[in-house]
Amino acid sequence: MAQTNLKVGVTGYPLTHTISPAFQQPAFAHYGISACYRAYPVQPDDLPAFVESLRAPDWLGLNVTIPHKEAVTSLIDRCTATAATIGAVNTVFKDGDALVGDNTDAHGFLTALRADGDVDPTDARVLVLGAGGAGRAVLVALAQAGAGHITLANRHPERAQRLAQSLSTVLPAATALAPWQSPALDEAARAADIIVNCTAVGMANGPAPTKSPLGPSAFRPGQLVFDLVYTPRRTPLLHHAQDHGARVLDGLPMLVYQGAAAFERWTGKPAPLKLMKSKALAALGG
């Protein structure tokens, strides 16, 4: 850590939504680490060359977000056991000359669910929306935490089926698939103790910023609806859920927890969690 002017950052495409620099940079400053954390928007075709550039000695590590979490797994030297099980990487760190992929999303998700959502997923009925990199991490986290029944839905059902098959040794036996925007999906939503949105639907500057993956009739009092989107903090999905008596949780706590775990991977130092939370909140306007 003696080297100065280290590079670290987040890559994805596009990256108009990220606030990671706003809370990661103060964490490095807290320890007096001379590192610059910035956003690196990289198109999919340019990802191999960009990942290879991380081997330069001035690179400390990288966060990875949509749509690169799965693609990056084949571009690094190895994955941690967690990332290998999930099949997606959101953090790259160095071990000597090797680039190692980890996944801190599962940790961030469970920490937010328990600490901020005040919910224990053990034996719970859960509906997961989305079969991308975040969905993979959430499914593995729920399975390892002992969720009783999981229903998975994705706009493209064949992708949900492939994901369920690839995680079949991890997921509980009571795992089901539900068609997108169907009566069966609404029924699964109303029956769920926890609903988790792992899609970009409702995200500002995303493909459908004014849409919700579920209609207003899909919610009930007593359940928790957790949207991994954090810009805006109240998505159309969360507005619908709140209007129908459900408790809601946005994606900001998970973002900070997974980022804090990544910081610890890069530096070997305890993340200044309180500082990171306050800076992330300030970046979204308080």
Task: Give the active site residues.
Answer: 69
Strands 175-177 and 149-153: parallel
Give the span between the Cα atoms of 173 and 177, in whole angstroms. Answer: 12
Give the span between the Cα atoms of 130 and 123, in whole angstroms. Answer: 21
AA identity, residue 18: T
- Cβ(62)–Cβ(8) under 8 Å? yes
Q: How buried is residue 4: exposed, middle or buried, by Cβ count under 10 Å (0-12/13-18/19+)?
A: exposed
